[in-house]
Amino acid sequence: MEIVICRTKEEASRKAADMVAALVKKNPKCVLGLATGSTPVLMYSELAKDVKAKKISFKNVRSWNLDEYYGLAPTHDQSYRYFMNANFFDRIDIKKANTHVLNGLAKDWRKECAAYEKAIKAAGGIDLQVLGIGSDGHIAFNEPGSSLASRTRLVSLTPQTIKDNARFFAKASDVPRHALSMGVGTICEAKKVVLLAFGANKADAVKAAVEGGMSQFCTASALQAHNDAWFFCDAAAAAKLKLRKFYAWRSETVLASL
Ligand code: GLP
């Protein structure tokens, strides 16, 4: 794991965007794994600026998103498909047909999830996976207790996640209780991982993921076994890391050598 610690989320988002942009430039046909939540929004804006400035193009990029609320139509304004269109896809030159989000209305969720995994494999696997992190350390919707070998499947949301995500809905009871989500095993197969974490309410999750034991109780900790995983944190999210000064110094050297 490389931990990049920045003063602000703006700085961290730009650095993470640089990493994604470098891959898109090097391999214009790359396969991206994408995330929702408020955290990656700034990074998506930075990438949209790069497209506008003609520095990069997503014309031949294909993408697979991490998860989708089960029971929400893609047109629902809180669905992750709607979110991706509004915050990223409609602002760049990607072909909509090349973007994939699990169908929250799939009647046969097993078939939907198996087909999703098969499609990722057929595309050659994910080159770079973008991630946020839940306040309990989850990635995608892999809540505490998810097997670190889990694959794309139907999952249940914890009361904590329902509470955290209630801010996007009119009331907490409107938050779906289930989702379709890539598994931890699916995510860890990505060749490169870029996780973003901002704000003090992510500090415990970042600490557990980076310096705690690898455990299904904090599914982001599975990335400890990944050989190309990057955490881009602002100062508040990194505040509880014991070795934060060391990580900051080390990542500067590593980033400069890329
Ligand atoms: C949801 C998503 C995660 C995301 C998390 C944190 O649970 N399924 O992918 O990382 O929310 O969201 P935020 O970035 O808004 O804090």
**Contact present, 101 and 115 (Cβ < 8 Å):** no
Whether the CB of 132 sits within 6 Å of ligand 1: yes
- Ligand 1 centroid – CA 135 distance (Å): 8
For residue 218, name the pLDDT band (cuts at 50, 70, 90).
very high
Give how many domains the chain has, as a whole number. 1
In whole angstroms, give the CA distance from residue 4 to residue 208.
16
C-alpha Rg value of the chain to the nearest Å: 17
Q: Which atom of ligand 1 is nearest to the CA of 132?
A: 10
Query: Which residue range forms the structural domain that includes residue 202?
Result: 2-257
The ligand 1 atom nearest the CA atom of 66? 9
Burial class (CB in 10 A: 0-12, 13-18, 19+), 219: buried
| CA-closest residue to ligand 1 atom 9 | 140
Q: Using the predicted structure, report yes or no on whether residue 255 has a pLDDT greater than 90.
A: no
Active site residues: 67, 136, 138, 143
State pLDDT tens for residues 98-126: 999 999 999 999 999 999 999 999 999 99
Q: Are 132 and 35 in contact (CB under 8 A)?
A: yes
For residue 239, give the CATH number of its domain.
3.40.50.1360
From the list 220, 228, 218, the residue with the least C-alpha distance to 192 is 228
For ligand 1, pick from 164, 169, 181, 219 the residue to mutate: most ligand atoms within 8 Å of CB. Answer: 164
How many angstroms separate the CA atoms of 162 and 216, rounded?
19
What is the atom index within ligand 1 of the atom nearest the CA of 133?
Answer: 10
Q: Evaluate if residue 239 carries a pLDDT over 90.
A: yes
Mapped onto helix, strand or coil, the DSSP state of residue 118 is helix
